[in-house]
Structure 1
């Protein structure tokens, strides 16, 4: 029986790979991410702009193209960005495109696993379909007694159900593709932010008082060895908590402060990049871009073999 329990636990873990609650601790809290790992320094290169505009993987593809091919494909992208087909790209349209490219991996991941959950092939996923696929017979309360860490799986199931209900806007316990995406990636949806805050508090708040103090904040990212001096980066994080996390200086982070921490509201990376691209390419200063203006400044938007600054040219590329 013990062997069976271990095998079941392993099976559950493998099934839960696409489920957010099983992510490693370091990946649980989703800070407002930048658009590229490269520094944004246009005086050196446009790699930041390329990855912001195309996404990291697509930027690699464009690095393999000739300038002529790159401009041709950019022209096709411009046509897609121009939603109202008026011949111009506004800052808002550009921002929406950048957000789309940055979140492309999320939708690709959902599409990849969609058929695993949609058992009746109705292009929707019910809570029962998800529960059955993810937890199997362990979703039956009695069956939890055969699982090594039964309490953990019970809590995961309860947490998944709560999040599923939050993502399910009309309350029918059947998720559309968009709702299921919000369930798996709540950090990307405004209406799920309260749930992200709740789960963050549950994970970090060890004394159960509903707030996060500095020790709980540090314990979530660092467990010291015996007699180990505190590393400098931990000291820096401690000061970050005091100076920037605990905004009202009452010694802990409440729900509002945690929301501010995991999703800063001072700026929107996509909006800033869209404004930058418009400013640099808008030759007639009408605060919008024509297709010609974008193509005239094509090397800021996309790369090619002529502008990839020594990147490896041996990688294969797929057609756009």
Structure 2
């Protein structure tokens, strides 16, 4: 785990934790510099929770137990301004804004990378390889990710249909005769338009790949393959959440893209070179 990100992970995890784990998490956040010097018995006494809760809490953070938690806290406690873990404020100076954003982006990339399941990533690439057409949809900020995906895969010769016009997308979905796969992007996994398109795809036996940070969402449940990104910023912290959700989605798309490139590396690299030369030939300024 990247230095200084463990406190953000704790802050996020306690939102949906049990009462005992929430109590423990809040104690750790208030006493992060002291906890590495405590035994599990000492922490149990000071926080008012059982030793078993402390061990379970540590493992739920993806650590190997209380010893691992102490190591991470010791790393993050050295010369750390705890104000960096607060939401972005109108009173923040430029340097403080920079530090807060760097911390959140590092944390997002770290947790997304650890959480992405290689099995589902490879299944996604398998589906994209077999499909003649990839239909992709994302609304709002997720549409930016869909645009990035379209640009990447189109340049290596993949047929990608990407539009925010739901009527047009559904028309393509229902009338395409070629083998197709639907790639839906929604951080919350509850966007109504996205869910409607997913249901229509399922009715017509079109495979659905969902990219979301919410494992309990309707999109995650309806998708044939669910790719889960980082969910590390509380939903009420909307300013930094908008940034980190976009970063995690772009990272996941990049990873899928590079895995796809590897499947037929020489051919795909050649297509990239050819598309670059064509753009340069017809659209670069004449010397």
- With the length of structure 2 as denominator, give the TM-score of the two structures: 0.27
Instruction: Determine which structure has greater relative contact order: mean sequence separation of CA pairs < 8 Å that are 6+ residues apart, divided by chain length.
Output: 1
* Structure with the higher strand share, 1 or 2: 2
Give the structure with higher Rg (CA).
1
Q: What is the TM-score of this pair, normalised by structure 1? A: 0.25
